[in-house]
A and B are shown apart, each in its own frame.
Chain A
């Protein structure tokens, strides 16, 4: 379980997060939503120990993350930023095998367990057939799957993804979130993603955290968070929420106040 207590972050003298408290359950797919600039990415990066000025506590398996050494932490939690930089000339296999770095050392760069981990990561993301292709010749959806395979090869229990499907077509979006869902259900991974698309959140999230101006506005199951009152509060825009099968269906309305 990840527990965040009174997290405060200031970046370039501006308050980005002002006292965030939240709990993320194990083996669940949790999603962070909210308007642009509300601190979603900052929250995710803070949990990944990437923001050194973060104040407050982040507790992972009863340990304050500040006290976990970087190398050990890298075996516990994998983090994928939005639009990571893909170096020139790398093949899918090369990228995925870099996910093994936490388990390797300079004099022990490759072992059978590395090989097995890379193989199963490629299989889980359906990238086995592409392992010998250059990253630069992949489609957007394939490239994103390659990055996710890298995080899977890291073999951490917790995975954080910052907008893993931004700029992807509907079909690729669904493929990736279906994959994430299987990873939580069948492999017991704890996954936290930042998402923009509320349709995706409604459809796939076990747990939604809604942020606004650096604070948690609502948190819980999709049905309790994605209500028309909450959406008005979060996005300052009226929405109707209907029910389709078991999922909330969100329809943005005309805004009578600005019209």
Chain B
């Protein structure tokens, strides 16, 4: 009866993996590797496979070395990390609320993180307060505000989403106001980050971010079966032995940290968090698929960044511009064809 699953057995460990999910994961991984390879080799300078190999091993001229190791590699890694985090945060919120519109970029959490970062950057101007603190605080406070405003004997998901959209718009307005009142030199930096860009990534904080995103991904992988049970309603889940209130807090914590991490890395890039989950579920036919949505997010973001970097080379577009151009039509498609079945 378990023919649509791979049954993994090792000592006392016994796990089931849905076959289509495994195939999907493998295909997306191959696509990611392909985009990574293209991003490494193409740009202002193009490298062949042999060149790449030589430069990576330290046998190239110093300009090439710098371009590849100091510019392209950190940027690709940052794209993978931010995309993974966006995908995980989006799918987690979407499955928790049973609503595809409830992704962090739609309900104002990205805007909250953006305001937090901009506030630290332009208003506080204290070099000892890291931007990440602003991002995390921004997301947490925004999530709390949305929850409080939409709370009426519990959370109604439609009210939650609509409140989030309103709060997000308000927060972006505040961001604009902060930008207008700040000094011009800093505004340029902040503005580029606000559209969403991977240009600014440096190698120095990559290892910490990698550790963070890998932890988030492992946790997301662990919450997968629990989310599947909670998808049938919290009453059913609790009756099947899920400690619902504990897991709800944990899962929201994961989603919030993922959002904050992603926005910290590349700015409030829209539509990656929103689109990863629905695309993944459309292909494998079921949800929730948090880990796979993370892979999908990584693929989407580095593909968008590759296009942004090479389309009008040497001019580099911000990646956020590309995701909006591709993501907005997808939103319209989803609203017209998919969301009919849901409440909103």
Contact = CB atoms under 8 A, between A and B. Distances in A.
Interface of A: 12, 45, 48-50, 70-71, 73-75, 77-81, 84-91, 93, 98-99, 101-102, 106-111, 115, 118-119, 131-132, 154
Contact of A87 (B1, B225, B228): B228
Query: Size band of the B side of the interface?
Result: 20 to 34
Contacts of B64: none
Q: At the interface, is chain A mostly helix, strand, loop or mixed?
A: loop
A88 B12 contact: no
A98 B240 contact: yes
B7 to A, nearest CB: 6
Contacts of A89: 281, 284-287
Contacts of B241: 70-71, 73-75, 101-102
Contact of B286 (A71, A80, A87): A87
Specify which of A70, A73, A111, A115 lies most central, judged by the most chain B CB atoms within 10 Å of its CB. A70
Interface string B9-31: 00011111000000000000000
B186 interface: no
Contacts of A45: 235
A201 B4 CA distance: 41
A111 B14 contact: yes
A12 B152 CA distance: 10
Contacts of B229: 98, 101
Contacts, number: 95
Contacts of A93: 1-2, 4
A153 to B, nearest CB: 10
A74 to B, nearest CB: 4
Nearest to B232: A85
10 contacts: A86-B232, A88-B286, A93-B1, A98-B228, A101-B240, A108-B12, A108-B13, A108-B14, A109-B225, A110-B7
B339 interface: no
A101 B242 contact: yes
Nearest to A85: B233
A48 B239 contact: yes
B232 A79 contact: no
B2 A110 contact: yes
Contact of A50 (B231, B238, B243, B281): B238
A44 to B, nearest CB: 10
A224 B15 CA distance: 52
Contacts of A91: 4
Nearest to A156: B239
